[in-house]
Amino acid sequence: MTRLDPNFIVGIGGSAGALDAYKSLLNALSPNTGMAFVIVFHIHPASDSQLAQILSRHTKMPVMRAAVAMPILANHVYVIPANVDLTIEGGAFKVISPRTARNVQVDLLFISLAKEMGARAIGVVLSGYSHDGTEGCKQIKAKGGRTFAQDNSAEITFMPRNAQASGYVDFVLSPEKISDKLKILALLPKLSQK
């Protein structure tokens, strides 16, 4: 049996206040979209993050920490480990430890996603401080991908508002509505084949 490559890879980035947004997005999301989901969170370098275990209670998809050379499969959720930069290259994860800087992990993922997936890249910026994700949204848009930012439902609005202000965000929605839109986008490759 061959591995199931995703039709889209969805990078989801957040920081302070994003945990509830991740849960809401996954709760509303079908486990059979054919997409892969990569969650990048600003985690303290010394922490032992339980994010994968927490989020696994909110989806039927397998949720796991990303690891070096791990292939990215459809209908799976991957979570960044602590103190790393996580990028995608050749359909697998590249993990750089220790991380190169604070609060750039979303941009690093999104930029690699744009290079790897082109128009099949999707970036989602959720609650958090700083401007992380904005440059990544620009790169995804430049390659024909789609971008989302959380609306005023964000607990901390700096990250999604900075992304919106850049002009590189297609949709400004609540996490539940983002899930609805992702379901529609998941059908695009299938519709174009008919």
CA distances from 25 to 45, 154, 179, 182 (A): 25, 12, 6, 10
CB burial readout 103-120, b (16+ within 10 A) else e = bbbbbbbbbbbbebbeeb
58 a catalytic residue: no
Active-site residue flag, 56 = no
- Active-site residue identified among 85, 107, 132, 179: 132
Answer yes or no: 131 catalytic. no
DSSP state of 32: T
Alpha-carbon torsion, ordered 57, 49, 178, 172, to 10 deg: 150
d(CA 35, CA 7): 6
- Would you state the torsion angle of the CA atoms of residues 57, 89, 160, 45, taken in this order, to the nearest 10 degrees? 70
The catalytically annotated residue of 24, 42, 107, 179 is 42
Active site residues: 15, 42, 132
